[in-house]
Structure 1
Amino acid sequence: MLSALCLLLAVPIVAVATDAAAEGVDEVEALLVEAGSVKTSDVARFQQLLGELDTRAGDATPEQRHRLQILRAYRHALLGESGPAVDLLGGVLGESRVPDIRFEAGGLLSNIHAANRRFEDSLRILEEILPLVDRIKDLETRHRGLLNAGVVYNQVGEYRIGRQLAQAVVDSHPDPRNACAAENLVAEASLGLEEDVDEPRLRANIAHCDALNERVFAAFARAHLARWLAASDRVDQAIRLLEGYLATVEETRYPFLQGVYHALLAEYRLREGAQAQAEAHAVVAVERTRGIGNIEPLVSAYGTLYRIASQRGDAEATLLAYKAFVDAERRHLNDVKSREMAYQIVRHQSQQQSQQIELLNQKNALLELDQSNTRQRARLWLVVAGLLAFLLATTAYWAFTTKRLQMRLRRLAELDPLTGVSNRHHFSEKAGRVLASCKQDHRVVALLTFDLDHFKQVNDRYGHAAGDWVLQQVAKACAELCGPGDCIGRLGGEEFAMLLPGCDAATGRQLAEDALDRLAAIDTDGRGYEVRIAASFGITDTTLSGYDLTRLMSHGDRAMYAAKRAGRARVAVFDEDNVRALTPRSSGLDGPAELRLAGDERRTFPA
């Protein structure tokens, strides 16, 4: 939904009363106000007004020039020229100190970055402008900024933040269009969190968006409702809802939205047994979305075509559809991972920045104390000996305190604060040094990457405190398996990695099986959590993947995804041609110890 809402929501306004233009107080102001009011309804007039404003830019105040730059950036964004738009908005943020202008420019810039899949840049801008929200005088500007942020946070998987921002707009009496968009984001976040959707509220919003003739918002609201109906075993209602609005969706000429509708209809028609209709919708969904990127409707459509071919018993078509489905799913999952990682990186950088500010404050306090002591010494020369002793003691104390703080900050910079193992950055640095040393000594190194299975269900059912506890127990159990020269790190979320110098893939596989046994043995009942902890492991070593860390991590991830596709709670060993997916003999988990084909041949899965 991101690409649909970015520019629909990021419409800059010129927050000045329109009666100023009517009274002719300021001709530049009048042109700015009119340009802001017609930019979506009359593009030709909008372009003409920008031309007139360009000729009168010399008469404008600094604030008016900044508002003109925002309008110019919006024009570039509409034309798909993100480079000039980013330059203009960056200039506004660098020069203006007016909260409303910074908030407006930052919101548009954040959405342009998000539309271009530059989520780290987008989130950094939001971190900068969201603290300004309470200082924004224009209510519509504030609402639109919160909605822009909600769209981005939903896209990076932080649905609770996205819903909180959208609900804040709903609760503060927005204008009708922003209310329509906000309710859409609330429903989208609830679906993303796999929570119950307020169906009467969503139906009311559909009627509201229809009344405004906001067809794109109304279409997405119907798609959200259809997903909820299907999840509630009302597939027939979902089909009628989507088919009843399909003609309007086709009129929008918006491929992504069309792909969403056709992909959902293909999935639901197949569930109803209407194979021919399902195939027709799936084919259209693929045609409309294949060139857009790594999006969910494309994955869904390929999955439907794969199931249809399998039901028909057409082996060749099944294989082709399966390959397309797996490739689309892999690219989509990678895209989702990159968005989630962008959020984690920006969040970590924000925490580091806060820690650095705190350290500077302490250093400033020390400086002020030294200056005060110096002035005191000059005035009280009769007690210089005692004062000198006091100063030396104070300096020694602050030096000791500062040293301890520096050591603590170093640990914070290197270790994951929740689990106590290395964070992603420190793990990468340490692993790089180990690999370089082992390469010179011709020593083999094994890499294990693993991701906890169904971890989101722990957070959803028992809360984030339970999830944090599980992560701590997993890190502790796996760290106990590491030797003095081994590295273990948390890469982000529920994903970990272990680097084992002197071990090959076979040894790594044995260690992964031991880790699965340890994870299964973690006692969750004592905490009141009725869960069984398991993970999917991917194994490779330098004889298979070389000594380049990026390549090792890529191959480990491919093996790990193969383990997940094989049923999770398994170990998969990377091979240039295939990945062997195994389950440990003594893990205590359900399923056979090893997946096999006829006879004794191991079943393999494509990397």
Structure 2
Amino acid sequence: MASLSFFIPALGKEPESIEDKIQLAEELKATDFNRFNELLKQVEDSSVNLTAEQHEQFRFLDAYRLAYSGSQTQAVANLTELVKVAKSEKVQFKSLSVLLNILIISRDYSEVFQYLEQYDQMQKNITDKDLRQHALGILALVFNQTSQFDIGYFYANKLSSDAVDGKYACFGMQFKLESLHRLKKYDEFDQEFDAGVATCEAAKQPIYSKIIQSYRVERLLEVDPNQAISLLNSLYQDVEQTSYNVLITLYKTLYSIAYLRNEQLDVAKEYGLSATKNIKEDDINYAILLLYSTLYEIEKANGNFEKALTYHEVLVSKQKAYDDEKAAGLLAYNIAKANVEVKNQRIALLDKDNELLSLQKDLYEKEARQNRLLVLILGAILLLATVLAYRGLTGRSRFKKIAEYDQLTGISNRYHFNNQAKIALDYCETNAKPVALILFDLDYFKDINDTHGHAVGDWALRAVVKTCRNFMRNNDVFGRIGGEEFAVVLPGCQTDKAVLLAEICRDAIAGIDTTESGKHFSLSASFGVSGSDNSGYQLKQLLADADSAMYSAKAAGRNQVATFSE
């Protein structure tokens, strides 16, 4: 896929001022890199005269230069800092766009999804149409490449509808038709196909036009290989003229599949072998998987099983790498989505707290107005009663807290946890709601106490509880049921959601900075998860099954999450 770029036609006159040089460099960075480099050097020589805004623009262009020149690591570091500190929203947004481009090319989806929510929110406020269309293209590309085609379609459709520039309309149509093709929405695909090809041809984007038409060829292979060959013949000369190896590989592979379906094995093999010349050893994409699958089928049909096995081994290796990449992207998306949901829940809770405070304030004001005449007479009596009541309440509260809560971590002790858990379990059973239980304990905790002392061990327990509470709801029952053993009852939660929460907590515990304790050591925990679907609604059984799963996690090497199954 050709990457998107910020392209603006070059100015006609030589720039004189620093501002004009920065502007021309911005316009030439995607079309004339040598001239862009010269202008950037001139601006750097005058750096002492730059305003704060011009300095930010220069830092962005310099990071772009590093990325274009192959210094990706330094470019990523500079762009990441600019995203955090830039005062100009436009510079911040452009920096984030280039950063995402680099991360997408390197397939670092865990980093991509860390920034994606921020990027999506920023693009809604960007008034520059070119930047906003670029952003929609980035969003559509990310979700299509991680197989989230329904979300990719949403952004692609928005891009193709909003685009005023021909190339962005083309990008939007290509992403949209890819989404419809992969989602097998063929009626909608057929309605948009001609418009997509026409849009890309008008925008002089032959690569995107031929990618769109490859989807039509793929469908014809299933129903009429001869018609597919005819369509390939009409397109292939233009494909070769693009010199784009990924596209050429795809079309030769489609030829090979078509002739294989027609049982013309020699011709099919010739196209397949020709396609292998265009790829590098570490290349992995959809076209390459199709290619090696086809070569395997050809050699198997020829009876050349040794060669077929060789192709099959290459296919399995590349398929695994491809699937791992997709799985990493999907996991990164789900973690980012979970983080957004947690943040939204916190915001909702804060809104409710504010609403309650506002209602309480109104109530107090009304009571104050109604009782103003009585305050002078009853003031002394009320003060005395308040003092006595306060002492009684605080005393009862203190003793209640001692009896029910763990003094070190502040969460429920074993006795209080059992009582609250049974209440939650009875409610879920009565109302036919699911419930899950997470049990975990810290790995090698005795070694921490023995090596660094009990004070450091106590610090570690408090740090783990503080970290995990960030991811829990108000109605979750969280308790310390042993020295370094903890349990969480999750009312209304399916087992698979509890496994996701356990994974988030496990990862967060492993990331705790222990140097704040005055010592340096590693923290990790092993998790066991059980649910009412397998273990029922009795606390004893849920704990026993989660305990069995937790010891399975320990036996598998610790710092893992295991789920109980019958």
TM-score range, shorter chain: 0.5 to 0.7
Change over 3 Å in CA distance of 1:214–1:186 after alignment to 2: same
Structure of larger gyration radius: 2
State the alpha-carbon separation in 2 of the partners of residues 178 and 393 from structure 1. Answer: 71
Could you say which residue in structure 1 is the equivalent of 2:218? 227
Shift of 1:368: 9.2
- Confirm or deny that 1:547 pairs with 2:538: no
Change over 3 Å in CA distance of 1:500–1:389 after alignment to 2: closer
Change over 3 Å in CA distance of 1:373–1:341 after alignment to 2: same
Change over 3 Å in CA distance of 1:360–1:83 after alignment to 2: farther
Change over 3 Å in CA distance of 1:235–1:46 after alignment to 2: farther
Once the two structures are overlaid, the 10-residue window that deviates more, 175-184 or 381-390, is: 381-390
State the alpha-carbon separation in 1 of the partners of residues 49 and 477 from structure 2. Answer: 52
Shift of 1:47: 1.7
Could you say which residue in structure 2 is the equivalent of 1:338? 328
Matches within 5 A, 1:527-538: none
Q: 1:166 touches 1:182 (CA, 8 Å); kept in 2?
A: yes
Shift of 1:420: 4.3
Q: What TM-score, normalized by structure 2, do the two folds share?
A: 0.67
Q: Count the aligned residue pairs.
A: 451
Could you say which residue in structure 2 is the equivalent of 1:166? 156
- SS of 1:216's partner is helix
Q: 1:204 aligns with which of 195, 202, 207?
A: 195
Q: 2:499 aligns with which of 393, 398, 423?
A: 423
AA in 2 matched with 1:419: Q
Runs of 4+ in 1 over 6 A off after TM superposition: 21-24, 362-377, 386-396, 402-407, 428-431, 550-553
Could you say which residue in structure 1 is the equivalent of 2:4? 9
Q: 2:110 touches 2:328 (CA, 8 Å); kept in 1?
A: no
Shift of 1:279: 1.6
Matches within 5 A, 1:53-68: 53-68=43-58
Q: 2:177 touches 2:193 (CA, 8 Å); kept in 1?
A: yes
Shift of 1:394: 12
- SS of 1:277's partner is helix
AA in 1 matched with 2:284: N
1:294-317 C-alpha deviation (Å, 9 max, x unpaired): 322222111111111111122222
State the alpha-carbon separation in 2 of the partners of residues 79 and 487 from structure 1. Answer: 53
State the alpha-carbon separation in 2 of the partners of residues 235 and 159 from structure 1. Answer: 27
Shift of 1:424: 3.0
Could you say which residue in structure 1 is the equivalent of 2:545? 486
- Confirm or deny that 1:238 pairs with 2:228: yes
Shift of 1:90: 1.7
Once the two structures are overlaid, the 10-residue window that deviates more, 335-344 or 416-425, is: 416-425
State the alpha-carbon separation in 1 of the partners of residues 200 and 180 from structure 2. Answer: 19
Change over 3 Å in CA distance of 1:42–1:22 after alignment to 2: closer
Q: 2:503 touches 2:561 (CA, 8 Å); kept in 1?
A: no
Q: 2:149 touches 2:179 (CA, 8 Å); kept in 1?
A: yes
- SS of 1:128's partner is helix
AA in 1 matched with 2:127: K
Q: 2:297 aligns with which of 267, 287, 307?
A: 307
Change over 3 Å in CA distance of 1:372–1:64 after alignment to 2: farther
State the alpha-carbon separation in 2 of the partners of residues 42 and 203 from structure 1. Answer: 34
- Confirm or deny that 1:214 pairs with 2:205: yes
1:82-128 C-alpha deviation (Å, 9 max, x unpaired): 21221222232122243333222212211211211111211221211
AA in 2 matched with 1:11: F
Q: 2:7 touches 2:30 (CA, 8 Å); kept in 1?
A: no
1:372-413 C-alpha deviation (Å, 9 max, x unpaired): 999999xx98546377799999999xx99x999986358499
1:504-525 C-alpha deviation (Å, 9 max, x unpaired): xxxxxxxxxxxxxxxxxxxxxx
Shift of 1:369: 9.9
State the alpha-carbon separation in 1 of the partners of residues 161 and 33 from structure 2. Answer: 33
State the alpha-carbon separation in 2 of the partners of residues 191 and 43 from structure 1. Answer: 37
- Confirm or deny that 1:408 pairs with 2:498: no
State the alpha-carbon separation in 1 of the partners of residues 362 and 190 from structure 2. Answer: 65
Shift of 1:154: 0.9
Q: 1:285 aligns with which of 246, 271, 275?
A: 275
Change over 3 Å in CA distance of 1:271–1:549 after alignment to 2: farther
Shift of 1:255: 3.0
Could you say which residue in structure 2 is the equivalent of 1:298? 288
Q: Please give the root-mean-square deviation of Cα atoms over the aligned residues, in Å.
A: 4.7
Shift of 1:38: 2.3
Could you say which residue in structure 1 is the equivalent of 2:136? 146
State the alpha-carbon separation in 2 of the partners of residues 224 and 426 from structure 1. Answer: 41
- Confirm or deny that 1:101 pairs with 2:91: yes
Shift of 1:140: 1.3
State the alpha-carbon separation in 1 of the partners of residues 561 and 473 from structure 2. Answer: 31
Change over 3 Å in CA distance of 1:357–1:483 after alignment to 2: closer
Q: 2:168 aligns with which of 161, 166, 178?
A: 178
Q: 1:92 touches 1:102 (CA, 8 Å); kept in 2?
A: yes
State the alpha-carbon separation in 2 of the partners of residues 412 and 263 from structure 1. Answer: 56
Shift of 1:166: 1.3
Q: 1:294 touches 1:335 (CA, 8 Å); kept in 2?
A: no
State the alpha-carbon separation in 2 of the partners of residues 346 and 253 from structure 1. Answer: 37
Q: 1:110 touches 1:123 (CA, 8 Å); kept in 2?
A: no
State the alpha-carbon separation in 1 of the partners of residues 477 and 279 from structure 2. Answer: 43
Shift of 1:40: 2.7
Could you say which residue in structure 1 is the equivalent of 2:433? none
Q: 1:11 touches 1:108 (CA, 8 Å); kept in 2?
A: no
Gaps of 5+ in 2: 405-409, 412-419, 421-468, 479-487, 510-525
Shift of 1:260: 2.2
Change over 3 Å in CA distance of 1:173–1:552 after alignment to 2: closer
Shift of 1:367: 8.9
Q: 2:502 touches 2:561 (CA, 8 Å); kept in 1?
A: no
State the alpha-carbon separation in 2 of the partners of residues 285 and 257 from structure 1. Answer: 10
Q: 2:157 touches 2:172 (CA, 8 Å); kept in 1?
A: yes
Q: 2:6 touches 2:131 (CA, 8 Å); kept in 1?
A: no
Q: 2:83 touches 2:92 (CA, 8 Å); kept in 1?
A: yes
AA in 1 matched with 2:75: A
Q: 2:83 touches 2:95 (CA, 8 Å); kept in 1?
A: yes
Matches within 5 A, 1:262-273: 262-273=252-263
Question: What fraction of aligned residue pairs are identical, expressed as a percent?
Answer: 20
Gaps of 5+ in 1: 434-444, 449-473, 489-497, 503-540, 557-607
Q: 1:111 touches 1:122 (CA, 8 Å); kept in 2?
A: no
Change over 3 Å in CA distance of 1:108–1:430 after alignment to 2: closer
Could you say which residue in structure 1 is the equivalent of 2:425? none
Q: What TM-score, normalized by structure 1, do the two folds share?
A: 0.63
State the alpha-carbon separation in 2 of the partners of residues 389 and 49 from structure 1. Answer: 79
